[in-house]
Structure 1
Amino acid sequence: MSDQGHHRDLRAVTPALPVRGHLPYGEPAGTPDRITVTSRYIERDGRPWIPITGEIHYSRLPRERWNEVLGHARAGGLNSVATYIFWSAHEPEPGRFDWTGNLDLRAFTELAAARGLDVVVRLGPWAHGESRNGGFPDWLLGRDLKPRSNDPAYLALVRPLYAQIAAQLRGLTHAEGGPVIGGQVDNELYDQPEHLRVLREIAEEAGLRVPIWTATGWGGAQVPDTLLPVYGAYAEGFWEDEATEWPAFAPLHFRYSEIRDDLSVGADLREALDGIAAAATHLDTLRPFATCELGGGMHVAYHRRPLVSGEDVANLALAKIGSGSAWQGYYMYAGGTQRTGPHGTEQESQATGYPNDVPALSYDFHAPIGEHGQIRPHHHYLRRQHLWLREEGHRLAAMATQFGGGSADPEEPRWAVRSDGRSGYLFLTTYQPPKRPIAGQPGVQFTIRFADASVTVPSAPIDVPAGHSLVWPLRYALTPALELRSATAQVITRLADEDGEVVVLAATEGIPVEIVLGDGSIVGLPGPPGPDCLVQLAGVRLLVLDEASANRLYRLPIAGRDRLVLADAPVHAEAGDLVVQPETPGVTVAVWPAPDGFSAEGADLGPPRDEGLWRTWTLRAHHAGSVPVPVEFRQAAGPAPAPARGGPMRRLSAPTDYSGAAVVHVDVPDLEGADRALVRLEWTGDAGRAYVGDRFVSDQFWHGRVWDIEITPHRDAVAEHGVRLELLPWRRETGVWVDPSVRDVEDGVAVSSATLVRVGRARLRAQGER
């Protein structure tokens, strides 16, 4: 590559053929919908395939919420979900297994399949997942054995667990026509490759046979060749020390790089429990780059409480695609609530030997789907990437990857190209989190030389503002006869109606949209990007959306066919219907190709309006909307508890004495038939607990975000008692780490607002076809 001024000239790499048949996983020839693993990507039914997997813990969600959460996951563009199987939940007493209620693994797996989602089971036996004893039952730790090893006494207890799991999943594996495509053994085990190998053997002996077996590869883990190493990448980490301003590996994840590992993840446990510092693994050229824990958000601990934004999540995920990822896996994709067992709540804590105290109940993780079903901005940001991967993943997975600007120098342009030698995508980023931002790039222009032609994009240099990650198509086939040579806009998806195909692109704010066809002609837009910006070309139309509209765009199966939906509120599809779950009464929904009409349950529906491609409806949802609620301080806060330290790393410990807490009463009005209701608290302080009557229902270590307390399951008790808050005061000198953006909060306790958020549910059933 040469660099003349701000113009970069590079030659696209033609990918080498992948190595096949060398890995001891995958399915034999002749298997329907066969899944195999090559050295560079996963294949499904004979072509490259990128799994898009989100972690959802069935045992941390109410069973009645599973369907909704899985529906939103599918609407978010996932094609699979992963889930921990917590041993402590399923075998609370030796020999007594429980698979009922929200522990019904089989029912969860079947429901995922009904939603069009594959399943990866994370079998344990040790899971971590911020769970008490890593998910080990307390009774196990009382035995004379060495866990997480090939100690025969330990394996004798693992075998019945795995046999139970295999029985639950009988008939549901991929080879049996079911959704279970993968299994992970143990978690974050970095120095016991023979034990990992044996765990797979035990699972298969029990009857669980899946095409892909994995083990976590971060921290320099020694993963045997019988397992595919999968990696993680987080923008932040609650597990860091309170003196750490930003984890050492975090900046790397916002650059394009061949490095798959992250030595920060799990480093506290390696150091505290085993006294081991890991070393990074070498580049693996025989197994594809697969991830299972791209941070979908971030949890908080008492001593360290990061803020990870939706922009952080989306930009990190896109950087991994630009770095060659062949499997996008998120942890968490949907938050949940810690279980309560015979010893109380089952969270990670210093009391059970961990370095960190985390909240007793909340496992929200600021995930794309929150602990109580809240839909966060990154659900929308990620969906744009997932729709693109759904459309282009088979091509992208097979493309070679090359990088530039992989250093820590914030002035160095950061770019990558994924190419098949004739076409591809140019990646460019100017994004790092606000705590350490990088500057925009002036005069950006690239020439990419393919074997038979060159593409210069854009046609004249442009300035790329700070805070953006871009993916521009290169020589993209619009029709067999028409090529999109380049575009300074991102491909999202494509869909057809009776008038032909529409290719959907998304503009980036601050970046002029330039569309260049294969003959070099530049196509003008009929107006600014938006839902009505439709470019008519020979045999195809281009819809160029603005960013706000792109973040409202869904692709959902409605009334027997895929349709594009623009919605002001979270939506998903269920049995061919469109389900809308708004927090405000008024919602606009536009559909293409549109049915003639909808009938509505749970909302009043206005008449349709034809607006360009779209047919638009305005609906007024029943029982939706937010109202302020009164807050009464019934006891002022006393002095903050004296700081205490504990655990193997002597970190700050969560207070247990709430006698000096401020006591606040929230009087909650009638929920009015809302599908879900939350009390949303804006407050400052240190730590808080919420009660309905005497029942402990929620907690939060304050970290700068609102505190959502779900009250739906407690309707009658809330009507009688309201919500009682116990809030400990903030004291800066305690030394708790919070994000710089909220660090200047005053000592004490303050409640600036409390709001009752009523979430409605409307179901729209299509009537006829347009």
Structure 2
Amino acid sequence: MNIDVQPVPAAQRLRAEAPPPPRRGHLPLGEPEGTADRIEITSGWIERAGEPWFPITGEIHYSRLPRDRWSEVLGHARAGGLDTVATYVLWQAHEPEPGQFRWDDNLDLRAFIELAARHGLDVIVRMGPWAHGEARYGGFPDWLVERSVATRTNDADYLELVRRFYRQIVDQLAGLAHVEGGPVVGAQMDNELYDQPEHLATLRTVAEDLGLRVPIWTATGWGGAQVPESLLPLYSAYADGFWEDSATEWPHFAAFHFRYSEVRDDLTVGADLREALDGIVLDPSTVPLKDDAALPFATCELGSGMHVAYHRRPLVTAEDVGALALAKIGSGSIWQGYYMYAGGTQRRGAHGAEQESHATGYPNDVPTLSYDFYAPVGEHGQVRPHHHLLRRQHLWLATDGTGLAAMRTTVGGGSEDPSELRWSVRSDGYRGYLFLTTYQPARHPLDPQPGLQVAVELDDTVVIVPSRPTDVPAGVSVVWPLRYPLTDELVLRSATAQLVTRIADDAGEIVVLCATDGIPVELVLEGAVDVHGAGTVRHDGGHTVVDLLGVPGPGALVELPGVRVLVVDEVTANHLYRLEVAGRDRLVLTDAPVYELDGDLVAHPDTGSVTVSLLPAPASLTSEDAEVVAGTAVAAPWSTWTVRTSAGQRPLASGLRPEAAAPPEPGRGGPMDRLSAPRDFSGAAWVPLDVPDELMADVDRTLLRITWTGDVGRALVGDEVVSDHFWHGRTWDLDLTPWREQAARDGVTLELLPWRGDTGVWVDPSVRDVAEGITVPSVEIVRVAKAVLVAEEAKQ
């Protein structure tokens, strides 16, 4: 070893050993040798075309989105770094009456999958038959519930109905399976089924008998589920849960998900349904929770937001989502799967709204229409901060996920004690990544870590990070590279900044790192290295230490032999995309949500003027939808354009204090006797809003944004309820675009019920001191534009 590790406390030293070779061929999953782009499931990771593959999957429900918004949402998903989308096939939507199937309009599963492929996304089909997803009867049609069949079992009559439904799905997927060169790489059987492994296995057999061939067959594995060997169990992690009781301040399970641990299961997700619907109460001492060495650690429901129920309304933040996701990577996840990645709207059927409710025997009442979930992409296409926080992680995984997936996880420390360092390492023995976190949600913060240094013993050396003790503030989660190869000859021994991506321009390669607010940036390079640009040099233990000169940002370039390192700040990183534009991968730095389609940039600004910077720069950037003007570069080596559109915000009303004449008395219902959502709005406060047509003209989408406090609100256009909202501290958005003509003619009416603290509804402590009654500080129109930006290279 060439560095003395004595100065580092024992609690901050560990040996990161190389992983053992994975087991192969022991699972009835994957594809046979010789298959093009072969997918194989090993005991440690998933392989694709012979290389470890780190899938990144987001849940998007085609049947809960307008068909004309599919492309936009899928575009944002791909721009956010996803390579796969998952989607429920809701039985109630596709077979509303026995034997009468619908695959039209936004129920066209095949068209959705083909569009996903156009955006470069593979697809996991969650086939049910039971889905949950806060859908009425878990997605079962009413006619099925009314029949005397033993659902979710191997009952012959039930299986015959399932076979009929599955046949329809398989027909929709004809020619789209991965083995056929298509995008469908996996299928999930049922959902949250805990004690029927034989039935789960039968569902796969039924789908295969009908002709479906996919390499990845999955089942949800949380809650101690008994998953048969023919299915890969996938796990979940949420920062909070609407399904908890209203007396629960913070669910016991939540803190665990902000620590590093090789334990995969969570016994509490969906526990209310297990108890209420299935009568299953788990004894944690009887459920094995340790790592299963035969199976890779894969997830499908990392909470990238959180829904609300009437009785309990969590306020999960973007920072919660980012920290939880990174904690799972630091715990050994080799597949990041998010629920929900894009919000949607509950369907309406012959029986009215098709949401989970006390009326259909569920423990929770949820909104009748909104399924926004505070997802990275909202119910109406709103792009949220965690879309950007997660994209930073996904760009890193796209850059080095092949290496990371095959690395072994070693947890260095971290308990429930808020003062103890939480850290882990993923390594192949030679190189790896150091994970550190001082993050928990604001109401349960962790302590900072003053004078931090850790020592990681690899096969042939010990890496101490940072080179000098450094204070790590509270509220951060980081992953720092260890011995990352910058070039074939140059190794980044360590850095107190995170790898984002790497890209080439005409001058060579650029490796992008992101600094963390409050932590000084140092780059340690192995050996003696010639350094120029935005860094000062010192030497330590035979290595070259570069301290960043000035502040991180889009122009902070450190010039090294054969490569440049760009160290950006967090604000810049949150506006940074990597997209293929005009036939070439480019970094795109912009303050508008963007994605790529067929080589063009598609922007959806909600302000009148935005900037777009590109690296490497094309010769020109033009648009038929907007005014595009070449501007001053953000900093070398970027080129910048200003894009002006008709987007922007327009006020409609402010400072309102409406009174509800006769709000209904609180009620309870469902199998757990929880607070029920009010259905009687006859005594609600009415707020009529005039919406001039010109405010909705000449834009792609018009949102009505309501900042308010109260209990429950509904919005009506004419006599039709077009949106509803359980107040929980966030603004209420609804899309007026489908109702433009009627809204311009008749206006929009808000029906609002007042906040009453003694009702017992749980809201986050940060908003709990709200005044009794109703306030409407502001109502505004948000005009969202669409601009297709065409880049062209100079002719040779």
SS at match of 2:743: helix
Residue 282 (str. 1) matches residue 289 (str. 2):
yes
Deviation at 1:668, TM superposition (A): 1.7
Deviations along 1:5-35, one digit per CA (max 9) or x if unpaired, are 4872221111111111100000000000000
Greater CA drift, 276-285 or 164-173: 276-285
Q: Please list, as runs of the form range in 1=range in 2, the aligned pairs for 1:389-408 lying within 5 A after superposition.
A: 389-408=397-416
Matching residue of 2:86? 82
Match for residue 456 of structure 2 among 445, 448, 451: 448
SS at match of 2:223: coil
Deviations along 1:466-493, one digit per CA (max 9) or x if unpaired, are 0000111000000000000100000000
C-alpha distance in 2, partners of 1:141/1:648? 17
Q: Please list, as runs of the form range in 1=range in 2, the aligned pairs for 1:397-546 lying within 5 A after superposition.
A: 397-519=405-527, 520-546=543-569
Greater CA drift, 440-449 or 275-284: 275-284
TM-score (norm 1): 0.98
Aligned amino acid, residue 603 of structure 1: A
C-alpha distance in 2, partners of 1:380/1:303? 31
Deviations along 1:207-232, one digit per CA (max 9) or x if unpaired, are 11100000000000000000000000
C-alpha distance in 2, partners of 1:640/1:488? 56
Match for residue 582 of structure 2 among 538, 552, 559: 559
SS at match of 2:182: coil
Deviations along 1:67-121, one digit per CA (max 9) or x if unpaired, are 0000000000000000000000000010111000000000000000010000000
Deviations along 1:570-616, one digit per CA (max 9) or x if unpaired, are 01111111111111011011000110111112211112434311000
**Retained in 2: the 8 A contact 1:2–1:10?**
no
**Share of identical aligned residues, percent?**
65
Residue 365 (str. 1) matches residue 334 (str. 2):
no
Deviation at 1:373, TM superposition (A): 0.1
Match for residue 118 of structure 2 among 114, 135, 151: 114
Deviation at 1:751, TM superposition (A): 0.4
Matching residue of 1:219? 223
**Retained in 2: the 8 A contact 1:633–1:662?**
no
C-alpha distance in 1, partners of 2:8/2:561? 37
Deviation at 1:281, TM superposition (A): 3.0
Deviations along 1:596-651, one digit per CA (max 9) or x if unpaired, are 11111221111243431100001111x20001113697973124321111000000
Alpha-carbon distance change, 733 to 288 in structure 1, aligned in 2, over 3 angstroms:
same
SS at match of 2:214: coil
Matching residue of 2:615? 592
Matching residue of 1:759? 784
Deviation at 1:3, TM superposition (A): 8.8
**Retained in 2: the 8 A contact 1:7–1:444?**
no
Aligned amino acid, residue 254 of structure 1: F
C-alpha distance in 2, partners of 1:344/1:672? 31
**Retained in 2: the 8 A contact 1:255–1:405?**
no
C-alpha distance in 1, partners of 2:630/2:21? 55
Deviation at 1:762, TM superposition (A): 1.0
C-alpha distance in 2, partners of 1:769/1:615? 14
C-alpha distance in 2, partners of 1:317/1:193? 29
Deviation at 1:443, TM superposition (A): 1.2
C-alpha distance in 1, partners of 2:791/2:313? 46
Deviation at 1:204, TM superposition (A): 0.5
Aligned amino acid, residue 85 of structure 2: V
Q: Please list, as runs of the form range in 1=range in 2, the aligned pairs for 1:623-638 lying within 5 A after superposition.
A: 623-630=646-653, 636-638=659-661
SS at match of 1:689: strand
Match for residue 642 of structure 1 among 662, 665, 670: 665
C-alpha distance in 1, partners of 2:7/2:123? 46
Residue 153 (str. 1) matches residue 153 (str. 2):
no
C-alpha distance in 2, partners of 1:131/1:90? 13
Residue 732 (str. 1) matches residue 757 (str. 2):
yes
Aligned amino acid, residue 667 of structure 2: A
SS at match of 2:463: strand
Alpha-carbon distance change, 2 to 290 in structure 1, aligned in 2, over 3 angstroms:
farther
Matching residue of 2:725? 700
**Retained in 2: the 8 A contact 1:580–1:763?**
yes
Deviations along 1:553-583, one digit per CA (max 9) or x if unpaired, are 0000100011000001101111111111111
Deviation at 1:282, TM superposition (A): 3.4
Matching residue of 1:688? 713
SS at match of 1:629: strand
**Retained in 2: the 8 A contact 1:405–1:414?**
yes
C-alpha distance in 2, partners of 1:468/1:755? 34
Matching residue of 1:203? 207
SS at match of 2:589: strand
Deviations along 1:180-200, one digit per CA (max 9) or x if unpaired, are 000000000000000000000
SS at match of 2:469: strand
**Retained in 1: the 8 A contact 2:657–2:774?**
no
Match for residue 131 of structure 2 among 127, 140, 146: 127
Q: Please list, as runs of the form range in 1=range in 2, the aligned pairs for 1:129-144 lying within 5 A after superposition.
A: 129-144=133-148
Matching residue of 2:535? none
TM-score (norm 2): 0.95
Matching residue of 1:32? 36
C-alpha distance in 1, partners of 2:245/2:592? 39
**Retained in 2: the 8 A contact 1:231–1:260?**
yes
Match for residue 615 of structure 1 among 627, 636, 639: 639
C-alpha distance in 1, partners of 2:275/2:160? 29
Residue 64 (str. 1) matches residue 48 (str. 2):
no
Greater CA drift, 625-634 or 20-29: 625-634
Matching residue of 2:355? 347
